[in-house]
Amino acid sequence: MTSVLELDAAFAALGDPVRRALVARLARGDATVTELAEPFALTQQAISHHVGVLRRCGLVEQRRDGASRPCRLRADRLTQLSTWIDDQRRVWEDRLDVLERHLADDGTTR
């Protein structure tokens, strides 16, 4: 079960366009910070900072592979976020269905 604080941290991390781009890149496969930095006009240090934010909220993990430290997306965390969003969508769809029925009521059931 994902706590509210974990959700807050993950959604806050994904609020940054660079971090969303990093997540999208890592969805295609593991990459080092150097590889992640290539398409950006940012320093490797700035990319490392963004990776650290993603790591702290559990969306990315890094492992040591010799001298390299490849990053990997944690798809299970994305699934948890998606599940939360789906739950919220269902709640609002149910509320809107109730409102629609109320507005469609011709008053004969009052």
Q: How many domains does the chain have?
A: 1
Residue 91 counted as domain residue:
yes
Instruction: Supply the range of the domain harboring residue 78.
Output: 4-104
Residue range 19-40: mean pLDDT, rounded: 95
Question: What CATH number is associated with residue 51?
Answer: 1.10.10.10
> Does 13 map to a domain?
yes
Instruction: Write the pLDDT tens digit of every residue in 30-79.
Output: 999 999 999 999 999 999 999 999 999 999 999 988 888 999 999 999 98
Residue 65 lies in a domain: yes
In angstroms, the CA 54 to CA 61 distance is: 8
- Convert 78-98 to b/e letters by CB count within 10 Å (16 or more is b): eebbeeeeeeeeeeeeeeeee
Q: Is 110 part of any domain?
A: no
